[in-house]
Amino acid sequence: MSKTIESDLVRHIGKLSRIELTDQETQTLATQLGAILVYFDKLQGLPTDGVEPMVHALEVHNALADDVPHQSLTADQALANAPDRDGDFFKVPKVIGDSQ
């Protein structure tokens, strides 16, 4: 048993994600998303009285090194492997604006 997810919703999510989906992929994802929603419904039915909320299932400890200042890279060192540069800056393709 699965919930019905409309193909239009899957296409909209794909557009927002900038992913082109074929009709077959749209149908497959709609079925998979519906199955995920059914699973969430099952989880909603679990008794959670007395269970304290937690952020992680396991205890997480940060393993951070001391923050000690070091010599910085020069612009030439930092940009040595850059595919393209403009003076002392990385040059990248425009990604803001002209959205579809």
How confident is the model over 51-68, as pLDDT tens digits? 888 888 888 888 888 889
Beta carbons of 29 and 21 less than 8 angstroms apart: yes
- Please give the C-alpha separations between residue 9 and each of 1, 16, 39, in angstroms, as whole numbers: 20, 11, 19
Q: How far apart are CA 55 and CA 69, in angstroms?
A: 32
Task: Delineate the domains of the chain, giving CATH numbers in brackets.
Answer: 7-44 (1.10.20)
- With vertex at residue 31, the alpha carbon angle to CA 30 and CA 32, rounded to the nearest 5 degrees, is 95
How confident is the model over 8-26, as pLDDT tens digits? 999 999 999 999 999 999 9
Residue found under tokens 């019905």? 4
- pLDDT category of residue 99 using cuts at 50, 70 and 90: low
Q: How far apart are CA 82 and CA 76, in angstroms?
A: 10
